[in-house]
Copies of this chain bind each other. A is one copy, B any other.
Amino acid sequence: MSEKRALNIGLIGYQFMGRAHSHAIKALHVFGDELPFRPVMRVICGRNEAAARKVADHYGWERVETSWENVVADPEIDVIDIVTPGDTHCPIAVAAAEAGKHVICEKPLALTGDEARRMHEAAVRNKVKHVVNFNYRQVPAVIHAHRLVTEGTIGDVCSFHGSYRQDWSMSPDVPFVWRFDEKVAGAGSMADNGSHIIDLARYLVGEFAEVTGQSTIFRPERVGADGKPKPVTTDDAAVFLARFRDGALGFFHTSRFCPGHKNGLQFEINGTKGSIRWDLERLNELEVFVDDGAAPGAEFQRIMVTEGGAHPYVGHWWPPGHILGWEHTFVHQLYALLKAIAEDGPTSPDFEDGLKCQLVIDALAEAEKSRGWVALK
């Protein structure tokens, strides 16, 4: 590995997602000879220097910065990895692209379609690689689902059901944080959870033609850090419908008020020849039914998508039936970016995907106000 060219990474942000990305960079070794670069954890950036330094110490970042502008301006850095809150994505990504750095950015890409468009345009204009980290596209089972759809195994898609259900914010004891403030977070479950299922729908079915929906706030007030009640202005839950360009129907549910669901991202796709369903809490498995007429009464079959050779990425890990975890998606996403840089190839999902997802979220906000269907252009 020592002979490989170094690829210097600057990480902007250091909290939960900063740890996940740091962990993933260190795990890139599993790709062995196929890894095109030697990833170097050059600099981590955080406004709270002591906190950032702790992550640097634990994970082996070479140095700590408190100004992202410095990191972006550093000529040594090849890749900027953005894991800060959503309202900072746009300025950092645009500056990074202008500085000629490749960029990987956490989801959702931006707070609005306008921001996302600026980010996408900056990346294209500067010919840098750009990735939005909708990491569930990198689950082997989801990639297998994508292949079954694109190869026609389940026929033409008739319907898509996506839901993302959690229960972490139900308790009145959960304090007021920035996620409950529309000005900072944009939207609630519809953006945070919804962006994942909208992206999966686009990846697996195709572009949205029109949407309508409704959201709600079940707990309109929470106590802030100062002990005073504050109004919640982001949605706790939303339901929405879609028609896709190819005529398929879509329906969606995002909620943080679903007891018994810890991280319940699920989808089901029904096509003219078969169906597929998946559940993030059992992410190594895909349930598939293909109607070949052989077994009357047959319903879904469980596929353990852990078989190297047959399924992407898993050959680099463990033998069949030895499951992967949530974090592996980040390793796969980073590896895909490194390959795209080395081969000057396409990235997926890229900032255009981030933009198109944001446009669906914007259309949903508009549909909720107009109480009708809103077309995607």
Contacts and interface: CB of A to CB of B under 8 A. Distances in A.
A154 interface: yes
Given A59-B29, A295-B288, A371-B373, A320 B270 contact: no
Contact of A23 (B27, B218, B300): B27
A99 interface: no
Contacts of A371: 372-373
Nearest to A296: B310
A299 B302 contact: yes
Interface stretch (A6-14, A109-117, A177-185, A250-258): A250-258
A354 interface: no
Interface string A317-343: 111111111111000000000000000
Contacts of A270: 165, 255, 257-259
Given A27-B27, A253-B251, A304 B281 contact: yes
B257 A159 contact: yes
Contacts of A262: 297, 299, 304, 306-307, 320-321
A369 interface: no
A63 interface: no
A20 interface: yes
Q: Is the interface of A mostly helix, strand, loop or mixed?
A: mixed
A239 B241 contact: yes
Contacts of A299: 260-262, 301-304
Given A259-B289, A262-B307, 12 more contacts: A20-B318, A158-B218, A168-B319, A259-B274, A259-B291, A260-B298, A261-B321, A281-B323, A295-B301, A296-B307, A299-B301, A323-B323
Given A29-B26, A159-B253, A297-B310, A326 B320 contact: no
A160 to B, nearest CB: 10
The 5 A-B residue pairs whose C-beta atoms are closest, nearest first, are A263-B321, A262-B321, A260-B289, A296-B310, A325-B325
A167 interface: yes
A346 to B, nearest CB: 26
A222 interface: no
A247 B256 CA distance: 16
A97 to B, nearest CB: 30
Interface string A235-273: 011111101000101111101011111111000001111
Contacts of A170: 272, 291
A227 interface: no
A159 B301 contact: no
Contacts of A159: 237, 239, 253, 255, 257-258
A298 B297 contact: no
A215 B149 CA distance: 23
A216 interface: yes
